[in-house]
Chains A and B, each alone.
Chain A
Amino acid sequence: MLHHNLITPDTKMADAIHMNYLLLPVINRFEIKLGFGDKTVEEVCTENKVNLSFFLDITNTYHDKSYFPKEKMRTYPVELIIDYLLKTHRYYFDQLLPEVEAMVEELLASCPADCDNLGLIKDFYKKYKQELEYHLKNEEQKFFPYVKALTQLEGTGQSLHSIRRQYNFSYSTHSEEHDNVISKMLDLKNIIIKYLPPNYDTAKGNNLLYWLFVFEEDLKDHERLEDIILVPALKRIEEKFTKN
Chain B
Amino acid sequence: MAQRIVIAESSYLMKRGISAVISDIVQAEIVFVNGMDELNHYLETNLVDYVFVDEELLNNREEREFFFQLQEKTIYIALSENPKNFPGSNNFFALIDKKSPKENLIPLLEETLENKPYAKNNKDSILSERETEVLKQVALGYTNQQIAERLFISKHTVISHRKNITSKLGIKSVSGLTVYAVLNNLIPKDQI
Contacts and interface: CB of A to CB of B under 8 A. Distances in A.
A30 B91 CA distance: 46
B183 A184 contact: no
Interface size class of B (residues with CB under 8 A): 20 to 34
B173 A183 contact: yes
A224 B38 contact: yes
B15 interface: yes
Contact of B184 (A116, A124, A195): A195
29 contacts: A65-B32, A66-B7, A66-B12, A66-B19, A68-B34, A116-B189, A117-B182, A120-B189, A124-B176, A124-B179, A180-B173, A182-B41, A184-B172, A186-B170, A187-B45, A187-B171, A187-B172, A187-B175, A187-B176, A190-B169, A190-B170, A190-B171, A191-B171, A191-B179, A191-B180, A195-B184, A197-B183, A224-B34, A227-B37
Interface of A: 4, 65-68, 70, 116-117, 120-121, 124, 127, 179-180, 182-184, 186-188, 190-191, 194-195, 197, 224, 227-228
Contacts of A68: 34
Given A117-B183, A191-B180, A124 B172 contact: no
A4 B16 CA distance: 9
Nearest to A4: B16
Contacts of A197: 183
Interface string B156-192: 0000000000000111110110011011100001000
B83 interface: no
A197 B184 CA distance: 9
Interface of B: 7, 12, 15-16, 19, 31-32, 34-35, 37-38, 41, 44-45, 169-173, 175-176, 179-180, 182-184, 189
B34 A70 contact: yes
A179 B179 contact: no
A190 B183 CA distance: 13
Contacts of A70: 34
Contacts of B44: 183
Nearest to A66: B32
Interface centre among B35, B45, B179 (most CB of A within 10 A): B179
A186 B172 contact: yes
Main secondary structure of the interface of B (DSSP, over half): helix
B179 A120 contact: yes
Given A183-B172, A184-B176, 9 more contacts: A66-B7, A68-B34, A124-B176, A180-B173, A187-B172, A190-B170, A190-B171, A195-B184, A228-B35
A65 B35 CA distance: 13
Contact of B176 (A116, A191, A227): A191
Contacts of B38: 224
A66 to B, nearest CB: 4
Interface centre among B44, B169, B172 (most CB of A within 10 A): B172
Contacts of A224: 34, 38
Nearest to A127: B175
Chain A to chain B: the 10 pairs with minimum beta-carbon distance, closest first: A187-B176, A190-B170, A66-B32, A183-B172, A187-B171, A186-B45, A120-B179, A195-B183, A184-B173, A66-B15
A116 B185 CA distance: 12
B64 to A, nearest CB: 20
Interface centre among A66, A121, A182 (most CB of B within 10 A): A66
B170 A194 contact: yes
A188 B170 CA distance: 10
Given A180-B173, A184-B173, A186-B45, A120 B15 contact: no
